Chains A and B, each alone.
Chain A
Amino acid sequence: MSRTYLVATFADSEALLDAVTTARAQGFKIYDVYAPCPIHGLDEAMGIQRTRLPYVTLVAGALALAATIAFEFYAAVFDWPLNVGGKPDNSTLAFVPIAFEMTVLAAGLATVAAFLLRSRLFPGAQPPLTTPGVTDDRFAVALRWRPNAFDTGSARHLLVQSGAIRIIQTASDL
Chain B
Amino acid sequence: MAVDLKFWTSLDALRADADRRAAAERDCFAGQRARTGPPPEPSRRDFLTLAGFGIAAAAASACSRGAVQKAIPMLSQPEELTPGVPNWYATTCGGCSAACTLLAKTRDGRPIKIEGNADSVVFGSGTCATGQATVLSLYDDARLKGPLWRGQPAAWADIDAHIAERLAAAAVAHQRVALVSKTIAGPATRRLIAEWSRRPGFEHIVYDAVSVAALREATRAAFGVDALPHYRFDAARVIVGIESDFLGTWLSPVEFTREYAMRRRPESASAMSRHVQFESGVSLTGSNADRRVVIRPSQSASVALGLLRRIASRRGEVAVPDVDESALDRQTLDAAADDLWRARGESLVVCGANDVDTQMLVHAANALLGNIGTTVDLDNVSLQKRGDDVALARLVDAMAAGRVGGLILYGVNPVYDAPAGDQFAAAMRRVPLTVSFADRLDETASHAEFVCPDHHFLEAWGDAEPVASCYSLAQPTISPLFDTRAAQDSLLLWLGRSPDFYGYLRSVWRDTLFHAQTRYTTFDEFWDHSLHDGIYAIPPRTISEKPLVADWRASAASVARSQSDAAASRDHDTYELHLYEPVAVRDGAHANNPWLQELPDPVSKVTWGNYAAIAPVDASRLGLEPGDIVALDGVGGRRIELPVHVQPGQAPKTISIALGYGRTRSGRVGDGVGVNVFALAQVAAGARRYARTGITMTRTGRRDALATTQSHHSMEGRAIVKETTLAALAEPADHRETDLPTLWAARPRGEHNWGMAIDLSACTGCSACVTACQAENNVAVVGRDEVRRGREMHWIRVDRYYSGSEDSPATLVQPMMCQHCGDAPCEPVCPVLATVHSSDGLNQQVYNRCVGTRYCENNCPYKVRRFNWFEYARNDRFDFNLNNPLGLMVLNPDVTVRSRGVMEKCSLCVQRIQAGKLEARRSGRAVDDGEIQTACQQACPADAIVFGDLADPGSRVSQLNRGRRSYHVLDELGTRPNVTYLTKVRNA
Name A's B-contacting residues (CB within 8 A): 82-88, 94
Contact = CB atoms under 8 A, between A and B. Distances in A.
B694 interface: no
A85 B823 contact: yes
A87 B839 contact: no
A154 B212 CA distance: 127
B895 interface: no
B491 to A, nearest CB: 62
B745 interface: yes
30 contacts: A82-B833, A82-B836, A83-B747, A83-B827, A83-B836, A83-B837, A83-B838, A84-B827, A84-B828, A84-B836, A84-B837, A85-B823, A85-B824, A85-B825, A85-B826, A85-B827, A85-B828, A85-B837, A86-B744, A86-B822, A86-B823, A86-B824, A86-B827, A86-B837, A87-B744, A87-B823, A87-B828, A88-B744, A88-B745, A94-B828
A94 B839 CA distance: 23
Contacts of B848: none
Interface in B584-642: none
B742 interface: yes
Given A83-B747, A83-B839, A84-B837, 7 more contacts: A83-B827, A83-B836, A84-B828, A84-B833, A85-B837, A86-B823, A86-B976
Contacts of B837: 82-86
Contacts of A84: 827-828, 833, 836-837
A150 to B, nearest CB: 67
A85 to B, nearest CB: 4
Nearest to B827: A85
Nearest to B830: A84
Contacts of B745: 88
Contacts of B824: 85-86
Contacts of B747: 83, 86
Nearest to A88: B744
Interface of B: 742, 744-745, 747, 822-828, 833, 836-839, 976
CB-CB nearest 9 A-B residue pairs: A86-B823, A85-B827, A83-B837, A85-B828, A84-B827, A82-B836, A85-B824, A83-B747, A84-B828
Contacts of B839: 83
A166 B721 CA distance: 93
Contacts of B827: 83-86
B839 to A, nearest CB: 7
A86 B824 CA distance: 7
A86 B742 contact: yes
A72 to B, nearest CB: 13
Contacts of A87: 744, 823, 828
A98 to B, nearest CB: 11
A85 B860 CA distance: 12
A82 B824 CA distance: 13
Contacts of B836: 82-84
A87 B745 CA distance: 8
B753 to A, nearest CB: 12
B462 to A, nearest CB: 51
B369 to A, nearest CB: 56
B149 to A, nearest CB: 65
A86 B827 CA distance: 9
Nearest to B841: A83
B55 to A, nearest CB: 53
B739 to A, nearest CB: 13
A87 B742 CA distance: 10
A87 B743 CA distance: 9
Contacts of A85: 823-828, 837
Contacts of A83: 747, 827, 836-839
A87 B825 CA distance: 10
Quick one: which of A86, A87, A94 has the most chain B CB within 10 A?
A: A86
Contacts of B826: 85
A85 B861 CA distance: 14
Contacts of A82: 833, 836-837
B132 to A, nearest CB: 34
B69 to A, nearest CB: 53
Nearest to B829: A85
A36 B826 CA distance: 57
A85 B744 CA distance: 10
Nearest to A82: B836
Nearest to A91: B828
B859 to A, nearest CB: 10
A42 B699 CA distance: 88
A80 to B, nearest CB: 8
Nearest to B824: A85
B833 to A, nearest CB: 6
A163 to B, nearest CB: 64
B118 to A, nearest CB: 35
Nearest to B825: A85
A88 B744 CA distance: 7
A86 B747 CA distance: 7
B825 to A, nearest CB: 7
Contacts of B825: 85
A26 to B, nearest CB: 66
Contacts of B833: 82, 84
Contacts of A86: 742, 744, 747, 822-824, 827, 837, 976
Nearest to B742: A86
Contacts of B838: 83
A82 to B, nearest CB: 5
B819 to A, nearest CB: 13
A88 B742 CA distance: 12
A85 B838 CA distance: 10
A121 B901 CA distance: 47
Contacts of A94: 828
Nearest to A86: B823
Nearest to B836: A82
Contacts of A88: 744-745
A82 B838 CA distance: 8
A85 B836 CA distance: 7
A83 B750 CA distance: 12
A130 to B, nearest CB: 52
A95 to B, nearest CB: 13
B968 to A, nearest CB: 15
Nearest to B745: A88
A171 B742 CA distance: 78
Nearest to A84: B827
B333 to A, nearest CB: 55
Nearest to B749: A83
A123 to B, nearest CB: 37
Contacts of B828: 84-85, 87, 94
A82 B833 CA distance: 9
Contacts of B823: 85-87
B831 to A, nearest CB: 11
A94 B829 CA distance: 11
A88 B747 CA distance: 8
A115 B826 CA distance: 46
A92 to B, nearest CB: 13
B308 to A, nearest CB: 61
A52 B824 CA distance: 50
Nearest to A76: B833
A149 B220 CA distance: 138
Contacts of B822: 86
B960 to A, nearest CB: 23
B751 to A, nearest CB: 15
A84 B747 CA distance: 10
